[in-house]
A and B are shown apart, each in its own frame.
Chain A
Amino acid sequence: MLLPFFEWCETLWLGQFVVGSPWLFPVIESVHLLALALIGGAIFLVDFRLLGLGLKDREVSELARDARPWMIAGLIAMILTGIPLFLSEPIKCYYSTAFWIKMTTLPIALVFAFTVRTRVTRAEPVGNTARRQKLVGALSIALWFTVAAAGRWIGFS
Protein backbone atom coordinates (compact mmCIF):
# COMPACT_ATOMS: atom_id res chain seq x y z
CA MET A 1 0.00 0.00 0.00
CA LEU A 2 2.85 2.36 0.86
CA LEU A 3 5.01 1.24 -2.04
CA PRO A 4 3.73 3.97 -4.43
CA PHE A 5 4.71 6.56 -1.84
CA PHE A 6 8.24 5.13 -1.62
CA GLU A 7 8.42 5.03 -5.42
CA TRP A 8 7.41 8.68 -5.49
CA CYS A 9 10.12 9.44 -2.88
CA GLU A 10 12.66 7.91 -5.23
CA THR A 11 11.80 10.45 -7.93
CA LEU A 12 12.50 13.45 -5.69
CA TRP A 13 15.36 15.76 -6.59
CA LEU A 14 17.16 15.55 -3.26
CA GLY A 15 17.55 11.78 -3.32
CA GLN A 16 18.70 11.82 -6.93
CA PHE A 17 21.20 14.51 -6.06
CA VAL A 18 22.68 12.29 -3.34
CA VAL A 19 22.74 9.24 -5.63
CA GLY A 20 24.46 11.30 -8.33
CA SER A 21 27.55 11.87 -6.22
CA PRO A 22 29.94 9.14 -5.07
CA TRP A 23 30.87 10.91 -1.84
CA LEU A 24 27.70 12.74 -0.79
CA PHE A 25 26.08 9.71 0.87
CA PRO A 26 29.20 8.90 2.96
CA VAL A 27 29.58 12.55 3.99
CA ILE A 28 25.92 12.90 5.08
CA GLU A 29 26.18 9.51 6.80
CA SER A 30 29.23 10.76 8.74
CA VAL A 31 27.37 13.84 9.97
CA HIS A 32 24.47 11.52 10.92
CA LEU A 33 26.94 9.51 13.06
CA LEU A 34 28.51 12.61 14.64
CA ALA A 35 25.05 13.80 15.65
CA LEU A 36 24.34 10.32 17.04
CA ALA A 37 27.32 10.67 19.38
CA LEU A 38 26.03 14.08 20.47
CA ILE A 39 22.51 12.87 21.29
CA GLY A 40 24.08 9.84 22.97
CA GLY A 41 25.86 12.19 25.37
CA ALA A 42 22.96 14.61 25.85
CA ILE A 43 20.31 11.92 26.37
CA PHE A 44 22.28 9.36 28.38
CA LEU A 45 23.61 12.06 30.70
CA VAL A 46 20.05 12.51 31.97
CA ASP A 47 19.00 8.85 31.62
CA PHE A 48 21.98 7.69 33.69
CA ARG A 49 21.07 10.24 36.33
CA LEU A 50 17.48 8.94 36.35
CA LEU A 51 18.95 5.51 37.02
CA GLY A 52 20.96 6.93 39.91
CA LEU A 53 24.24 6.75 37.99
CA GLY A 54 26.69 9.27 36.55
CA LEU A 55 26.23 12.82 37.88
CA LYS A 56 24.15 11.59 40.81
CA ASP A 57 24.97 14.52 43.10
CA ARG A 58 23.07 16.96 40.85
CA GLU A 59 19.34 17.46 40.46
CA VAL A 60 17.74 15.68 37.52
CA SER A 61 16.02 18.90 36.47
CA GLU A 62 19.34 20.80 36.31
CA LEU A 63 20.99 18.18 34.09
CA ALA A 64 17.91 17.92 31.87
CA ARG A 65 17.74 21.68 31.40
CA ASP A 66 21.44 21.90 30.49
CA ALA A 67 21.36 18.89 28.17
CA ARG A 68 18.12 19.83 26.38
CA PRO A 69 19.49 22.30 23.78
CA TRP A 70 22.21 19.79 22.80
CA MET A 71 19.68 16.98 22.58
CA ILE A 72 17.40 19.07 20.37
CA ALA A 73 20.30 20.27 18.20
CA GLY A 74 21.43 16.66 17.80
CA LEU A 75 17.93 15.44 16.94
CA ILE A 76 17.49 18.18 14.33
CA ALA A 77 20.86 17.26 12.77
CA MET A 78 19.83 13.57 12.78
CA ILE A 79 16.55 14.31 10.99
CA LEU A 80 18.08 16.76 8.50
CA THR A 81 20.73 14.20 7.51
CA GLY A 82 18.43 11.19 7.80
CA ILE A 83 15.96 12.51 5.20
CA PRO A 84 18.45 12.74 2.30
CA LEU A 85 19.92 9.34 3.28
CA PHE A 86 16.42 7.84 3.07
CA LEU A 87 15.52 9.64 -0.17
CA SER A 88 18.65 8.23 -1.84
CA GLU A 89 17.39 4.65 -1.39
CA PRO A 90 13.67 4.56 -0.52
CA ILE A 91 12.92 1.25 -2.24
CA LYS A 92 15.75 -0.52 -0.41
CA CYS A 93 14.34 0.93 2.82
CA TYR A 94 10.82 -0.23 1.94
CA TYR A 95 12.01 -3.84 1.77
CA SER A 96 14.24 -3.54 4.86
CA THR A 97 12.88 -4.92 8.14
CA ALA A 98 15.44 -2.84 10.03
CA PHE A 99 14.06 0.34 8.44
CA TRP A 100 10.53 -0.46 9.63
CA ILE A 101 11.78 -1.27 13.13
CA LYS A 102 13.50 2.10 13.15
CA MET A 103 10.45 3.94 11.82
CA THR A 104 8.32 2.32 14.52
CA THR A 105 10.66 2.92 17.46
CA LEU A 106 11.82 6.41 16.42
CA PRO A 107 8.40 8.11 16.77
CA ILE A 108 7.85 6.25 20.04
CA ALA A 109 11.26 7.41 21.33
CA LEU A 110 10.60 11.00 20.23
CA VAL A 111 7.12 11.18 21.75
CA PHE A 112 8.43 9.54 24.93
CA ALA A 113 11.33 12.01 25.15
CA PHE A 114 9.09 15.07 24.84
CA THR A 115 6.19 13.87 27.01
CA VAL A 116 6.78 11.34 29.80
CA ARG A 117 10.52 11.88 30.06
CA THR A 118 10.30 15.67 30.01
CA ARG A 119 7.62 15.59 32.71
CA VAL A 120 9.62 13.28 34.95
CA THR A 121 12.85 15.29 34.56
CA ARG A 122 11.07 18.54 35.38
CA ALA A 123 9.12 17.29 38.39
CA GLU A 124 10.26 18.17 41.87
CA PRO A 125 12.10 15.31 43.56
CA VAL A 126 9.21 14.88 46.02
CA GLY A 127 6.65 14.12 43.37
CA ASN A 128 8.93 11.59 41.77
CA THR A 129 9.49 8.10 43.04
CA ALA A 130 12.93 6.64 42.45
CA ARG A 131 11.21 3.69 40.83
CA ARG A 132 9.45 5.81 38.24
CA GLN A 133 12.67 7.71 37.45
CA LYS A 134 14.57 4.46 36.96
CA LEU A 135 11.87 3.04 34.71
CA VAL A 136 11.86 6.17 32.51
CA GLY A 137 15.68 6.25 32.31
CA ALA A 138 15.92 2.58 31.39
CA LEU A 139 13.11 2.87 28.80
CA SER A 140 14.75 5.90 27.20
CA ILE A 141 18.12 4.14 26.88
CA ALA A 142 16.48 0.99 25.51
CA LEU A 143 14.43 2.97 22.96
CA TRP A 144 17.37 5.00 21.62
CA PHE A 145 19.65 1.95 21.49
CA THR A 146 16.98 0.16 19.44
CA VAL A 147 16.62 3.12 17.07
CA ALA A 148 20.41 3.34 16.62
CA ALA A 149 20.95 -0.41 16.17
CA ALA A 150 18.07 -0.68 13.68
CA GLY A 151 19.45 2.33 11.83
CA ARG A 152 22.86 0.72 11.56
CA TRP A 153 21.21 -2.51 10.45
CA ILE A 154 19.56 -0.83 7.42
CA GLY A 155 23.03 -0.80 5.91
CA PHE A 156 23.39 -4.58 6.21
CA SER A 157 20.31 -5.48 4.18
Chain B
Amino acid sequence: MSLLAYCEWLAATQGSIALHESMYMYPIVESSHVLALMLFVGFAAILDLRLLGLILKRVPVSQVADRLLPWTIAGFVVMVITGVLLFYAIPVRSYQSIFFRAKVIFLVLAGLNVWFFHTRVFTRIAEWDHDVITPKAARRAGLASLILWGAIIVAGRMIAYNWFDCDIQPQSAFVNWAAGCVVPPPLP
Protein backbone atom coordinates (compact mmCIF):
# COMPACT_ATOMS: atom_id res chain seq x y z
CA MET B 1 0.00 0.00 0.00
CA SER B 2 1.39 3.40 -0.90
CA LEU B 3 1.64 6.10 1.74
CA LEU B 4 -1.06 8.07 -0.06
CA ALA B 5 -3.39 5.08 -0.06
CA TYR B 6 -2.64 4.57 3.63
CA CYS B 7 -3.50 8.23 4.35
CA GLU B 8 -6.72 7.83 2.38
CA TRP B 9 -7.58 4.77 4.43
CA LEU B 10 -6.72 6.68 7.63
CA ALA B 11 -8.92 9.59 6.60
CA ALA B 12 -11.88 7.23 6.24
CA THR B 13 -11.58 5.84 9.77
CA GLN B 14 -14.20 6.88 12.32
CA GLY B 15 -11.70 8.45 14.71
CA SER B 16 -10.19 10.63 12.00
CA ILE B 17 -13.58 11.84 10.83
CA ALA B 18 -14.74 12.46 14.40
CA LEU B 19 -11.65 14.50 15.27
CA HIS B 20 -11.78 16.41 11.99
CA GLU B 21 -15.43 17.35 12.44
CA SER B 22 -15.39 17.91 16.19
CA MET B 23 -16.28 21.37 17.44
CA TYR B 24 -13.92 21.41 20.43
CA MET B 25 -11.55 18.43 20.31
CA TYR B 26 -9.58 19.63 17.29
CA PRO B 27 -9.03 23.17 18.66
CA ILE B 28 -8.14 21.69 22.07
CA VAL B 29 -5.54 19.40 20.50
CA GLU B 30 -4.19 22.27 18.40
CA SER B 31 -3.96 24.60 21.42
CA SER B 32 -2.22 21.89 23.46
CA HIS B 33 0.30 21.61 20.63
CA VAL B 34 1.01 25.36 20.98
CA LEU B 35 1.19 25.30 24.80
CA ALA B 36 3.61 22.36 24.70
CA LEU B 37 5.65 24.35 22.19
CA MET B 38 6.16 27.09 24.79
CA LEU B 39 7.66 24.52 27.14
CA PHE B 40 9.55 22.33 24.68
CA VAL B 41 11.02 24.87 22.25
CA GLY B 42 11.33 27.37 25.09
CA PHE B 43 13.56 25.11 27.20
CA ALA B 44 15.44 23.77 24.16
CA ALA B 45 16.19 27.39 23.24
CA ILE B 46 17.47 28.10 26.78
CA LEU B 47 20.03 25.28 26.42
CA ASP B 48 20.93 26.47 22.90
CA LEU B 49 21.44 30.03 24.14
CA ARG B 50 23.60 28.69 26.97
CA LEU B 51 25.75 26.80 24.44
CA LEU B 52 26.13 30.09 22.58
CA GLY B 53 27.17 31.82 25.80
CA LEU B 54 24.19 34.19 25.75
CA ILE B 55 22.31 33.20 28.90
CA LEU B 56 23.00 31.60 32.32
CA LYS B 57 26.70 32.21 31.78
CA ARG B 58 27.65 31.22 35.31
CA VAL B 59 25.65 28.00 35.29
CA PRO B 60 27.54 24.87 34.10
CA VAL B 61 26.20 23.61 30.79
CA SER B 62 25.67 20.13 32.26
CA GLN B 63 23.46 21.62 34.99
CA VAL B 64 21.28 23.45 32.46
CA ALA B 65 21.03 20.28 30.35
CA ASP B 66 20.37 17.85 33.22
CA ARG B 67 17.81 20.00 35.03
CA LEU B 68 15.84 21.08 31.98
CA LEU B 69 16.03 17.87 29.94
CA PRO B 70 13.23 15.98 31.76
CA TRP B 71 10.84 18.90 31.11
CA THR B 72 12.05 19.32 27.55
CA ILE B 73 11.35 15.63 26.97
CA ALA B 74 7.94 15.91 28.64
CA GLY B 75 7.09 18.83 26.36
CA PHE B 76 8.31 16.88 23.34
CA VAL B 77 6.13 13.89 24.23
CA VAL B 78 3.05 16.16 24.33
CA MET B 79 4.13 17.74 21.02
CA VAL B 80 4.39 14.32 19.37
CA ILE B 81 1.07 13.03 20.74
CA THR B 82 -0.85 16.16 19.76
CA GLY B 83 1.03 16.38 16.45
CA VAL B 84 0.14 12.80 15.53
CA LEU B 85 -3.51 13.53 16.41
CA LEU B 86 -3.48 16.66 14.21
CA PHE B 87 -2.14 14.57 11.33
CA TYR B 88 -4.67 11.83 12.07
CA ALA B 89 -7.49 14.39 11.78
CA ILE B 90 -6.37 15.57 8.31
CA PRO B 91 -4.13 12.84 6.85
CA VAL B 92 -4.33 13.24 3.06
CA ARG B 93 -4.07 17.02 2.94
CA SER B 94 -1.18 16.99 5.44
CA TYR B 95 0.64 14.24 3.55
CA GLN B 96 0.37 16.25 0.35
CA SER B 97 1.37 19.57 1.97
CA ILE B 98 4.80 20.87 1.00
CA PHE B 99 4.99 22.60 4.39
CA PHE B 100 4.26 19.37 6.24
CA ARG B 101 6.93 17.61 4.18
CA ALA B 102 9.42 20.39 4.84
CA LYS B 103 8.59 20.12 8.55
CA VAL B 104 9.29 16.37 8.53
CA ILE B 105 12.67 16.98 6.85
CA PHE B 106 13.55 19.69 9.41
CA LEU B 107 12.45 17.35 12.23
CA VAL B 108 14.79 14.62 10.96
CA LEU B 109 17.64 17.16 10.75
CA ALA B 110 16.86 18.43 14.27
CA GLY B 111 16.89 14.82 15.49
CA LEU B 112 20.28 14.22 13.84
CA ASN B 113 21.56 17.40 15.50
CA VAL B 114 20.42 16.16 18.93
CA TRP B 115 22.05 12.78 18.24
CA PHE B 116 25.28 14.44 17.11
CA PHE B 117 25.33 16.73 20.16
CA HIS B 118 24.76 13.97 22.68
CA THR B 119 27.12 11.38 21.15
CA ARG B 120 29.96 13.62 19.92
CA VAL B 121 29.88 16.90 21.82
CA PHE B 122 28.21 16.37 25.19
CA THR B 123 30.39 13.33 25.96
CA ARG B 124 33.38 15.64 26.52
CA ILE B 125 31.42 18.13 28.60
CA ALA B 126 33.84 17.86 31.55
CA GLU B 127 36.44 19.77 29.52
CA TRP B 128 34.24 22.86 28.95
CA ASP B 129 31.33 22.60 31.40
CA HIS B 130 32.06 25.95 33.05
CA ASP B 131 33.13 27.85 29.92
CA VAL B 132 30.98 30.83 28.94
CA ILE B 133 32.05 30.35 25.33
CA THR B 134 31.72 26.65 24.57
CA PRO B 135 33.73 24.77 21.89
CA LYS B 136 32.89 25.41 18.27
CA ALA B 137 31.07 22.09 17.83
CA ALA B 138 28.79 22.88 20.79
CA ARG B 139 28.09 26.40 19.54
CA ARG B 140 27.31 25.03 16.09
CA ALA B 141 24.92 22.46 17.53
CA GLY B 142 23.18 25.18 19.56
CA LEU B 143 22.80 27.49 16.57
CA ALA B 144 21.63 24.63 14.32
CA SER B 145 19.05 23.69 16.95
CA LEU B 146 17.69 27.27 17.19
CA ILE B 147 17.43 27.57 13.41
CA LEU B 148 15.90 24.13 12.89
CA TRP B 149 13.25 24.42 15.62
CA GLY B 150 12.41 27.90 14.34
CA ALA B 151 12.01 26.50 10.83
CA ILE B 152 9.85 23.67 12.22
CA ILE B 153 7.55 26.19 13.95
CA VAL B 154 7.20 28.29 10.79
CA ALA B 155 6.65 25.28 8.50
CA GLY B 156 4.13 23.86 10.97
CA ARG B 157 2.18 27.12 11.08
CA MET B 158 2.17 27.31 7.28
CA ILE B 159 0.49 23.89 6.91
CA ALA B 160 -2.76 25.73 7.65
CA TYR B 161 -2.49 27.75 4.42
CA ASN B 162 -3.71 26.21 1.19
CA TRP B 163 -1.69 28.17 -1.42
CA PHE B 164 0.07 25.02 -2.63
CA ASP B 165 -2.67 22.44 -2.06
CA CYS B 166 -2.98 19.69 -4.66
CA ASP B 167 -6.66 20.45 -5.28
CA ILE B 168 -5.83 24.03 -6.21
CA GLN B 169 -4.47 23.67 -9.75
CA PRO B 170 -2.59 24.72 -11.75
CA GLN B 171 0.49 24.54 -9.52
CA SER B 172 4.06 24.68 -10.72
CA ALA B 173 5.66 21.38 -11.67
CA PHE B 174 7.94 21.72 -8.67
CA VAL B 175 5.05 22.07 -6.20
CA ASN B 176 3.20 19.11 -7.73
CA TRP B 177 6.35 17.02 -7.48
CA ALA B 178 7.31 18.14 -3.98
CA ALA B 179 3.77 17.72 -2.64
CA GLY B 180 3.26 14.42 -4.45
CA CYS B 181 0.11 15.68 -6.17
CA VAL B 182 -1.71 13.24 -8.43
CA VAL B 183 -2.50 15.54 -11.33
CA PRO B 184 -4.82 14.17 -14.05
CA PRO B 185 -3.40 14.59 -17.56
CA PRO B 186 -4.87 17.58 -19.43
CA LEU B 187 -7.97 16.83 -21.50
CA PRO B 188 -7.24 16.35 -25.23
Contact = CB atoms under 8 A, between A and B. Distances in A.
Nearest to B48: A41
Interface of B is mostly: helix
B153 A149 contact: no
Contact of A37 (B45, B57, B58, B67): B45
A53 interface: yes
A45 to B, nearest CB: 6
Given A36-B38, A63-B56, A41 B46 contact: yes
Contacts of B35: 145, 148-149
Interface size grouping (class) on chain B? 20 to 34
A44 B40 CA distance: 10
A33 B159 CA distance: 14
Interface stretch (A54-62, A82-90, A118-126, A129-137): A54-62
B75 to A, nearest CB: 9
Interface of A: 22, 26, 29-30, 33-34, 36-45, 48, 53-58, 62-63, 66-67, 70, 144-145, 148-149, 152-153, 156
Interface of B: 27, 30-31, 34-35, 37-39, 41-46, 49, 55-59, 63-64, 67-68, 71, 149-150, 153-154, 157-158, 161, 163
Given A22-B163, A53-B71, A58-B59, 17 more contacts: A26-B158, A30-B153, A30-B154, A34-B150, A34-B153, A36-B37, A37-B41, A37-B45, A37-B149, A41-B45, A41-B46, A42-B42, A45-B46, A67-B55, A144-B38, A148-B34, A152-B31
